[in-house]
Structure 1
Amino acid sequence: MDGDTLYSIGETAERTGLSVKTIRFYSDSGVVPPTIYSPAGYRLYDTDALARLQLVRTLRDLGVDLASVRQVLDRTRSLPEVAASHAEAIALQMRTLRLQRTVLRAIAERGSTVEEMELMHKLAKLSDAERRRLISDFVEDTFGGVDANPALVDMIRAAMPELPEDPEPAQIEAWVELAELTSDTDFRAAVRRMAEYQAAQRAEGDTTGLHHELTEVVRDRVEHALASGIAPDSAEAKPIVDELAARYAVTFDRPDDAALRQWLRTRLDVAGDTRTERYWQLLAVINGWPVPPSLAPVFAWFGAALEVIVCDQQPVDSADFGARPEPGGARAIGPR
């Protein structure tokens, strides 16, 4: 030690910015022991000990735990390795804090009850994998083991909720609503009936897939009718229904007759649960996609117009599909 400058604990505190109490703690715990003790028993520190104390202070200020600090000082772990590990931990903490902040804001904005708050907190904490598993369970329960439209099933399986790292309150609210919706047994039963209906249609030879273009034609014609004030039970509605029925006949390779209109009404009934449209809207909000416009008024008008025509032609037996929903059904879980 000859020639080395030694500092008392007070001088060491002044040079490192640490308190005497903290230096004494690091000394007693063996993190940075004193270089030597004076003949009177006082702790003395050399420049190397000061450098180690300054390193400890910096790492602790950055939030690195004391065990990791010891590993750096003992050279059992490198400084870059500890820094990278701690940075990752901080990133996780930040994401958790942002999520907590968003949940609290959502609770404040919607005036949630205690039960709603607990549910929102629980669902918001789910990992990406857990959110995917929840939706995958819904898909398996509703479409599993049924030969439904494969293009639709593939689309549903691929469209998973992906909350961003810093979600908006609306995205948290949408995720909570989606989780509740997909857990609803009545909704699951309705989607299952739709899947079974699709399977029955496929068994009869329908392999037409999805029908985005046909849906757009229906939207265009019916929205024009709505804008023009044409009632679904009016004489002006019949030519519109006839035009759309002809489109369906071509798409599905079926005769354009009274049976087609009966088939169309049944098809709309099966796909008429408004919650299916809500499913896609919520998913869009969560993932930051453009929210699809509602087709509920369009298919409500089309279904009502078909009902008038079908009832004029023959008695209706909808027993195969249970009670028919009220007009106003939106787009099914997949396009018609």
Structure 2
Amino acid sequence: MDATTPYSIGELSRRTGLSVRTIRFYSDSGVVAPTTRSPAGYRLYGLDALRRLELLRTLRELGMDLATIQRVLDRELSVAEVAAAHADAMDVQIRVLQLRRSVLRVLAGREASPEETTLMHRLTQLSCEERRRLIDDFVESTFGMGDAAPAAVTMVRAATPDLPDDATSEQVAAWVELAELVGDEDFRARMRRTAVNQAAGRPLDIECAAGDELMELTRQKVAEAVDSGIDPHSDRSATVVDDLVHRLAEVLARTPDTGFRHWMAQQFEEAHDPRVDRYWRLVWIVNGWQVVPNLIPVYPWLIQALRNDRDA
């Protein structure tokens, strides 16, 4: 059979892999038109119909809808234009699927309640713009007052959490926790107070009174305890904390008792609220940033250890 020989529907089916019924449907829809008919009245198709069907099948297998394909076949749209648009659409679908996969992995790794499952799904379904709007609203409501330090706002905006399209299960879990955290009014108040103090670079009253040398020793001792995995609520923390309490009490001319311990904890809490520190850690996780050890706050550990009611 040469290029001038008309094809029957059966021959087109054999050459294109499409069923006779499908080709007949396309013919009735006007996608391909018969060139002529056989003496018996059967439809016969030319080479153009074969090429149109081959292209149609290829585009259908790539997921394009019939209406768009019809416009390509009629030369209203180029293959390049349609392919580019379709590729963009597939990118969106891939991102959605990747995020759903991460959510499922989080759910598979823990016993989530129905309410938590629904919340996680809803929060991760937000578009990139909606997620950014959620954080922008948090920043505006937290630092929108006229007395907010510009440096604090800059610090928070520079570390805007941005959930990646191929987020890991850890990043999804962190994003969900972060989204809940920024919606809490009490947390917003704490964040504002702490961030303003940190951005201003003002030392705490206890730091000024104790002096640079003793405070550096305090940070060093606590950092070593944190690196060693010592639980601040355990008996192992007593040796570290008791030593620091006695050193600070001596310098400040105070009695190293339970009241002094609680006063110390209150002093450190002014700039190192545990929930605020948790916020920054979640931001690191969501953004996929490497946690730099010397930037991990040590005061939250000390605060928890001081809250253990031990008498000196």
Tell me the TM-score normalized by structure 2. 0.76
Distance 1:241-1:225 versus aligned 2 partners, 3 A rule: farther
Distance 1:242-1:90 versus aligned 2 partners, 3 A rule: farther
Which letter does structure 2 place at the counterpart of 1:123?
L
User: 1 CA distance for matches of 2:96 and 2:269?
Assistant: 44
Partner of 2:169: 169
TM superposition shift of 1:152: 2.7
Please say if residues 221 and 240 of structure 2, whose CA atoms lie closer than 8 Å, have aligned partners that are also in contact: no
Which letter does structure 1 place at the counterpart of 2:301?
P
TM superposition shift of 1:278: 0.6
SS of 1:44's equivalent?
strand
Provide, for residues 235-255 of structure 1, a one-character-per-residue CA deviation record: whole Å limited to 9, x for no partner.
x64545788x9xxxxxxxxxx
Q: How does 1:61-210 map to 2 (within 5 A)?
A: 61-194=61-194, 198=197, 208=201
User: 2 CA distance for matches of 1:285 and 1:208?
Assistant: 25
Provide, for residues 91-131 of structure 1, a one-character-per-residue CA deviation record: whole Å limited to 9, x for no partner.
11111111111111111111212211111111111122211
Please say if residues 194 and 273 of structure 2, whose CA atoms lie closer than 8 Å, have aligned partners that are also in contact: no
Provide, for residues 76-101 of structure 1, a one-character-per-residue CA deviation record: whole Å limited to 9, x for no partner.
11111111111111111111111111
Q: How does 1:145-294 map to 2 (within 5 A)?
A: 145-194=145-194, 198=197, 208=201, 219-223=219-223, 230=239, 232=241, 237-239=245-247, 267-291=267-291, 293-294=296-297
User: 1 CA distance for matches of 2:14 and 2:53?
Assistant: 12
TM superposition shift of 1:71: 1.1
Question: For 1:297, which of 271, 277, 301 is the aligned residue?
Answer: 301
TM superposition shift of 1:288: 0.8
Is 1:30 the equivalent of 2:34? no
Partner of 1:307: none
- List runs of 5+ in structure 2 lacking aligned partners: 205-211, 229-236, 253-262
User: 2 CA distance for matches of 1:229 and 1:184?
Assistant: 34
TM superposition shift of 1:153: 2.0
User: 1 CA distance for matches of 2:145 and 2:34?
Assistant: 72
Between the two proteins, what is the percent identity of the paired residues? 51
Distance 1:223-1:59 versus aligned 2 partners, 3 A rule: closer
Which letter does structure 2 place at the counterpart of 1:58?
T
Provide, for residues 226-278 of structure 1, a one-character-per-residue CA deviation record: whole Å limited to 9, x for no partner.
989645455x64545788x9xxxxxxxxxxxxxxxxx9876523334211111
Distance 1:92-1:225 versus aligned 2 partners, 3 A rule: closer
Is 1:53 the equivalent of 2:57? no
The two structures, once aligned, show a CA RMSD in angstroms of: 3.3
User: 1 CA distance for matches of 2:63 and 2:168?
Assistant: 28
Distance 1:127-1:74 versus aligned 2 partners, 3 A rule: same
Distance 1:68-1:191 versus aligned 2 partners, 3 A rule: same
Distance 1:4-1:110 versus aligned 2 partners, 3 A rule: same
Please say if residues 241 and 302 of structure 2, whose CA atoms lie closer than 8 Å, have aligned partners that are also in contact: no
TM superposition shift of 1:149: 3.7
Is 1:19 the equivalent of 2:19? yes
Distance 1:78-1:27 versus aligned 2 partners, 3 A rule: same
Provide, for residues 39-80 of structure 1, a one-character-per-residue CA deviation record: whole Å limited to 9, x for no partner.
433111111111111110111111111111111101111111
Please say if residues 230 and 237 of structure 1, whose CA atoms lie closer than 8 Å, have aligned partners that are also in contact: no
Provide, for residues 116-173 of structure 1, a one-character-per-residue CA deviation record: whole Å limited to 9, x for no partner.
1111111111122211111111111112114344323211012111222211111100
SS of 1:104's equivalent?
helix
User: 2 CA distance for matches of 1:90 and 1:269?
Assistant: 49
Which letter does structure 1 place at the counterpart of 2:152?
L
Tell me the TM-score normalized by structure 1. 0.71
Which letter does structure 2 place at the counterpart of 1:17?
G
- List runs of 5+ in structure 1 lacking aligned partners: 246-262, 305-325, 329-336
Please say if residues 16 and 50 of structure 1, whose CA atoms lie closer than 8 Å, have aligned partners that are also in contact: yes
User: 2 CA distance for matches of 1:38 and 1:210?
Assistant: 95
Which letter does structure 1 place at the counterpart of 2:96?
T
Number of equivalent positions: 276
Q: How does 1:303-322 map to 2 (within 5 A)?
A: 304=306
